[in-house]
Chains A and B, each alone.
Chain A
Amino acid sequence: MTSETKPVVRRKLVVFACFLVTAVTLIPVVMMVLVAFQSDDESMAAKPSFWPSSWHPENLTRVFDLVPLGKYLLNTIYFAAGTTILETVTAALAAYAFARLNFPGRSWLFGVYLATLMIPSQVTLIPQFVLVAKLHAIDTWPGMIVPHAFTAIGVFLLRQFFLGIPRDYEEAARLDGANRWQAFVRVIVPLALPALATLAVFKFIGQWNNLLWPMIISNSDATRTVPVGLQVFQDINGTQWNLLLMAATVTTIPLIILFFLTQRWFVRGITMSGLGGR
């Protein structure tokens, strides 16, 4: 083979490998959707089939009749959005203080924040539960949201971004008479929007996925989230695979859509933070 054709062949091989890997990776997701449309008998047959021999879109409405899936989805949005907003706002304020303001004990306190990154969530799980129980906040939104809205990782990530913003921008605003709060809101926040979005997407996906905490704190349909709700669904129906996987499909789609809409920020955020390199 000549040196001109070699790169072309190589490129074709790479593209083929990409297609192959992607196809294999997506099998579980495709199966989830296919089985969701199978008939009861077909999905529960001893020999599972891949392609539905008949399509049953009514499975969608059957799932909503069986469990209050819409309510669970709404609850998950409350929980994930509540923790995300609270965390992003408080972390941004704290990160600004750590990145830009001088105060006695700054590096010491930041060290304490960093050290807590090592604490496994299991250590705080039981005391947080006890605290929420003592405040009679079990099965309430504040009880679900507030304890999970403060993590050092958010403060750490945002401080990194804020340190990278040239001081001159802020000094210019200060010379124009802006106080610290105005400089923060008008200069730092707009410049850090990709970083704030990255933190928010990370947090939102993490909390949308969170099973353990809602499982412990929520004990009624009023606050039950999707991951907990899907589990209840398994108990009711055993292995009625078509309905179970229809529920899984319905609850996964919003997260996937959100992820696709925001992943450009998310990828840019990873690059900007220097996590991916220098």
Chain B
Amino acid sequence: MAVGTPPATSTPVPLTPATAPRRRSREALTAWLFLLPSLIGFVVFTVGPVVAAGVISLLDWNLFSSPTWVGLRNFARLGPDPTFWSALGNTAYFTLVSVPLTILVSLALALLLNQGIRRIAVFRSLLLLPYATITVAVAFVWIWLYIPHDGLVNTVLGWFGISGPAWLISDNWAMPALIVMSVWKSFGFGMVVILAGLQTIPQQLYEAGRVDGASPWHSFRHITLPMLSPALFFVVVTSVIGSFQVFDQALIMTNGGPGTRTTTLVMYIYQTGFKNYDQGYAAAQSLVLFAFIVLITAGQFLFQRKLVHYDK
């Protein structure tokens, strides 16, 4: 690939007032050449579409006929739409339960693997396996595991005298069933990040703590957690973003049901835009979701200032 940078002069010329601006503008030109491929794609496929979503949200448009301008009416439709609120509630439910659960499982397993055992790489690889599977494929496996009455999950519960619900068609248990599957699918990523974080904590800190008579819980609370906070923060932020986008497993396992009990926002936007061909309304929904994400991310970063410890 020929990027048209002029060959550099063999020895760097000392910066004198006369040559400095010329060198600087040549460097700027080089920079723009390096940036160009990414920038074009970025403008056409990210920035442009966001602006377009703003325009489409003001239209009544089914993709095929010509659009009509409806102003803010699509946003006004959100208020009295029970499915939208239920989708928002379901997404919040999913996020509030699955993110802490994923973090706890990831943290617990990372701590377990970090106990100085041999063959840690074997266990780490095997525990990462769910993360490396295709969501759609394993969603089918989980439907099979969740089969009412004699599915594996209910059989195991039966050993303990519990008669399990008809998971995926139960009003109360469909969402928890989706959450369990999602935690299983994604904890491996958090585990690897946290494990990497654990391995960067200097052992002297623990030895110093032991000399001072710190209990294991004390050193966990006052050494491990603060030192791990950047890794935990990264896992929280990526998990929250991921949980807002949950779609594949919900589509395959419950298709949003029973009723709208597991209809998430992404799924509702997809149904509105590509099943009902109501693009304007779908765009309005996506922009409201965007506003929520901005608020939550801002909240997380405010929180980070208090809780995440970086060196210096």
Nearest residue in B to A228 (C-beta to C-beta)?
Answer: B136
- The answer for the CA separation of A212 and B286 in the assembled complex, in Å, is 15
**Given A32-B141, A127-B48, is A18 in contact with B150 using a C-beta cutoff of 8 Å?**
no
Q: Verify B35–A94 contact, CB threshold 8 A.
A: yes
Q: Verify A175–B12 contact, CB threshold 8 A.
A: yes
Q: Verify B35–A97 contact, CB threshold 8 A.
A: yes
Shortest beta-carbon distance, A230 to chain B, in Å?
A: 5
- The answer for the CA separation of A95 and B117 in the assembled complex, in Å, is 39
Q: Verify A209–B248 contact, CB threshold 8 A.
A: yes
Q: Verify A133–B63 contact, CB threshold 8 A.
A: yes
Q: Verify B10–A177 contact, CB threshold 8 A.
A: yes
How many residues on the B side are at the interface (Cβ–Cβ under 8 A)?
A: 105
- The answer for the CA separation of A275 and B196 in the assembled complex, in Å, is 8
Main secondary structure of the interface of B (DSSP, over half): helix
Nearest residue in A to B312 (C-beta to C-beta)?
Answer: A278
- The answer for the CA separation of A212 and B144 in the assembled complex, in Å, is 23
Q: Verify B289–A120 contact, CB threshold 8 A.
A: yes
Shortest beta-carbon distance, A55 to chain B, in Å?
A: 18
Interface residues on A, range: 35 or more
- The answer for the CA separation of A149 and B46 in the assembled complex, in Å, is 11
Q: Verify B45–A18 contact, CB threshold 8 A.
A: no
- Asked whether any CB of chain B lies closer than 8 Å to the CB of A62, the reply is no
- The answer for the CA separation of A122 and B195 in the assembled complex, in Å, is 32
For A15, the chain B residues whose CB sits under 8 A away are 117
- The answer for the CA separation of A100 and B78 in the assembled complex, in Å, is 46
**Given A123-B49, A127-B48, is A211 in contact with B8 using a C-beta cutoff of 8 Å?**
no
Nearest residue in A to B296 (C-beta to C-beta)?
Answer: A118
- The answer for the CA separation of A89 and B184 in the assembled complex, in Å, is 33
A sample of 8 inter-chain contacts (CB < 8 A) reads A21-B127, A27-B152, A96-B34, A112-B47, A120-B286, A226-B136, A231-B251, A266-B192
Closest 4 CB pairs of A and B: A276-B196, A150-B41, A277-B200, A127-B49
